[in-house]
Amino acid sequence: MEVQDFYSKVRQLRLSATRLVEGLYSGNYRSVFRGPGLEFDEVREYDPHDDARFIDWNVSSRLGSPFTKKFREERELSLQILVDVSPSLDSGASLLNKREVVNILFANLVFAAVASEDRVGAVFFSDKIEHWVRPRKGKTHALSLVHDCLALRSQGKGSDLALALRSAQEAMTRRGIVVILSDFKTTGFWKNLSLLSRRHDVIAIRVFDAVDSEFPEGGMVELVDPETGRSVQAYGQSLKFRKDYHDFWALHRLYWKRECLLRGVHILEVSTEDDPGAKLLQYFTKRERKK
Amino acid sequence: MWTFEAPGYLVLLLLLPLLVGLRHLWRARGGRISLPLGLWKGAKLTSFQPVLAFFNALSHLTFWLAWGAVVLALAGPIITHQKKLYLNDGSDIMIVLDESPSMAARDFPPQSRFDAAKAVITRFVHGRQNDEIGLVLFGSEALLSVPLTTDYQTFLHEGLDRAQVMGLGDGTALGMGIAVAALHLEKAPGKNKMIVVLTDGDNNAGEIQPGTAAELAHSLGIRLYLVGIGTPDTVPLEVRDPRTGLTYSGTLEGGFHENFLRSLAIPPWGQYFSASSPGSLDSIFQSIDSRETSSRKIQIQVVNDQLYAYFVLGALAMLLFSFFVRKLVLKEIM
């Protein structure tokens, strides 16, 4: 990718994020994501003006004089974005492939978070953690994140979501928001998702393509799995093949949806034919209205 | 025998498994559409279409067989066979067979003299190679049934099989038979000429006396073997006239004139044999056979038939078949 192209691409992504940013500002931002509210900060000596409810009795009895708990209001949220960079996202029959849709969603979220003075970090994963960025604030950080996302060339063959979830869990000491950008064509992550969703606000964004649910009618073609290299003869003219194909992915999608909802994970499905920015805004508006 | 003109090209056959491997087993080959076909470390999409899979396998098989055939064609498959070329001429043998009614006498039960003679001639002819053999038949007159030829099949089927008792009337023109044979042998190019006469020894018809005919043969340098068939006993006789369709039957008493025949054989050119049993008839012919076996010079020529055209055509047919199966039956996209 040429450097010139690269910056124009970043600018485009930034522009596409403005709608989301403004949309979120127009409503009450805090109502979209529930912040942690008050958080215990330290104990200090009790002042008669203080609320007697917040006296820390343990400390008071230990030290002989009354101490009160001091709280700090958590003003800023921490947003952690888990980005799937496995080869399975490189396919797609539409104008944009899944990878590009993920990039747009990622940039939108990053710019929106930065505009709300929130800290944002990212974990790029395939079958290993390809890149990890600590949550920070600021526009420069946002640009560098988007740059990292666009410039990353994945070497892995596979998508170990469980590993990414575990890393996020270990890295996030405070309550925060976790957004997963993936096609979810992976297994073995449900336990980690349960653990993470217990503490954090998790949103699973599933990016898919038309070809991921229906095999196009036509003739024979040889398919190869980008991750395993397994080759399969596809017979587009065979009703049975198209049905098998549809059933396989429909079942997987149903299972994914049910398991996510069971764990209180919010889900959003974005097709490569959708406008990713509009889809995000619509999702956040709906969430706000629900509250 | 199968061989190849340029077997060096067969080394290319070793290349075929490599190509098959590259085409079917090499993962990074390309020409395939990348599409997720399952979950990472999870369930895999499987779908089995037996009929389409069969046609797919068939098209691949014919495709590779076609290339195998092309390599074989390149190596120049030939089928070689040896052809004998006779450098010197063989003997010219004229067989003279008596068709008179007395030949129907059953001296060799259940065979008649005539059938026994035919069977022995057949065996004799099968034993010869490169000799020109002709057939003269005589009854009340004589004719050349088969001119001198090396085409023994024609001799047997067109000449000997058609001969029948009383085919040429009810006489015995022995002199005419020998004379006709001698005349036809006269112009034959070979150096070793002979007449084998099978008769029961009578002459009661024809313009030429047997003695005159025998001398004529001698003067032409033709050896004369006379074979007297039959026994001096009284033997039953049954003969059907092919012209009238009437069947005559009776007994034949001493219808065999051995002394007369013996007188015709003038050494050193002539020789007489007496055959009173089928076995003796065979041994007579064996002795003639051994006497007349001339030293042969044979050259063996190796003839090669080119077969590459079949392989090329076969390869073309298989390639076309494979192509049409893939495009029409399987509707291959790329």
Cα–Cα distances in angstroms (integers) from residue A217 to residues A241, B74, B104, in the given order:
10, 42, 88
pLDDT tens-place string over residues A179-237: 999 999 999 999 999 999 988 889 999 999 988 889 988 888 888 888 888 888 899 88
Topology adopted by domain A3-29+76-290: Rossmann fold (3.40.50)
Structure tokens at B150: 């090396």
d(CA A240, CA A245): 8
Here the tokens at position A10 are 């970043």
A-interface mutation test, from B25, B33, B40, most A Cβ less than 10 A away: B40
Tell me whether residues B330 and A252 touch, CB distance under 8 A: no
The mean predicted confidence, pLDDT, of chain A is 84
Residue B101 has pLDDT above 90, yes or no: no
Cβ–Cβ below 8 Å for B332 and A221: yes
What stretch(es) of chain A map to CATH 3.40.50.410?
3-29+76-290
| Closest alpha carbon within chain A to B328 | A219
Contact criterion met (CB < 8 Å) for A158 and B45 = no
- What b/e readout covers B288-311, taking b as 16+ CB neighbours within 10 angstroms? beeebeeeeeeeeeeeeeebbeeb
- Tokens at B41, concatenated: 């470390």
Sequence-distant (6+) residues with CB within 8 A of A43 are: A56, A59, A67, A68, A69, A70
Best CA proximity match to A89, nearest among A239, A238, A227, A205? A227
d(C-alpha B51, C-alpha B40), whole Å: 30
Q: Above 50 in pLDDT, residue A27?
A: no
pTM of the model: 0.63
Model confidence band, residue B86 (pLDDT cutoffs 50, 70, 90): confident
First-last CA distance in chain A? 43
B88-291 has which CATH code? 3.40.50.410
| A115: amino acid identity, one letter | A
- pLDDT at residue A39 is higher than 80: no
Could you give the CA distance from residue B269 to residue B217 in angstroms, rounded to a whole number? 9
- Tell me if A185 and B31 make a contact (CB, 8 A cut-off): no
Report the C-alpha gap between B141 and B180 in whole angstroms. 10
Task: Calculate the alpha carbon distances from B115 to A7, B164, B171, B201 in Å.
Answer: 112, 9, 18, 17
A36: exposed, middle or buried (Cβ count in 10 Å: 0-12, 13-18, 19+): middle
Cα nearest neighbour of B332 on chain A: A220
Q: Work out the angle at residue B326's Cα, subtended by the Cα atoms of residues B322 and B329, and round it to the nearest 5 degrees.
A: 115
Alpha carbons A71 and A40: distance in angstroms, whole number? 5
Distance CA B289, CA A105 (A): 107
Domain range annotation of chain B: 2-23+49-81+301-329, 88-291
A255-278 per-position pLDDT tens digit: 999 999 999 899 999 999 888 888
